[in-house]
Amino acid sequence: MQDSIDYGMLNTQTDERFGNRPYGRFGTIAKNGCGMIALYNIERAADGKTMFEPFYEARKRIRTNFFGLLGTRPSSIGKNLKSRGFGTVRIRLKKAGEAAPFDGVIVLYWHFFGAHYVAGIGNADGTYTFYNQFQTPYAMKLDDFLQYLRKNKLHPVRAWGIRFPRKPE
């Protein structure tokens, strides 16, 4: 595999270049890797140079639920980010509109067929550009995104506010 291929930010976990790769013992990125894609997008946004291949190799054994069939464990999100120097804060879902702006967010929601992680990258206007949810990346306020989920019978479970590691000056 080539480390030099730059996929940039990822808006789908089903991409044929990497979607069929194993995630957990029995899962694949396409079916169960939304947590990995969310973590990748946060790290990529933070430094602008993270490449998917080395990221995947370093994290393909991240703690999953039911051997990967149910995706990334929620406890693995904060632990993984903290180990990489990111600051994380649990956002109270009912007070998301009052939350201070973050460099990024990860939202976990459940639906009839399972659960899904979505990463949002902070913009200067207080919105977040959300990846791996819409046809194309889409910017909106966190509270609006949570309302969109609820309106579509998707149930937000947890949200993390993320501060990127500060670069030495």
Residues (pLDDT < 70) of the chain are 1-4, 59-71, 168-169
Assigned token pair, 18 = 């990497």
Q: Among residues 9, 29, 40, which one has the least CA distance to residue 71?
A: 29
Using CA atoms of 62, 68, 70, 72 in order, give the dihedral in degrees to the nearest 10. Answer: 10
**Residue 55, pLDDT score:** 86
Q: Where are the domains of the chain?
A: 22-163
CATH numeric code, 22-163:
3.90.70.10
> What is the end-to-end Cα distance of the chain in Å, rounded?
34
What CA–CA distance (Å, rounded) separates 157 from 155? 6
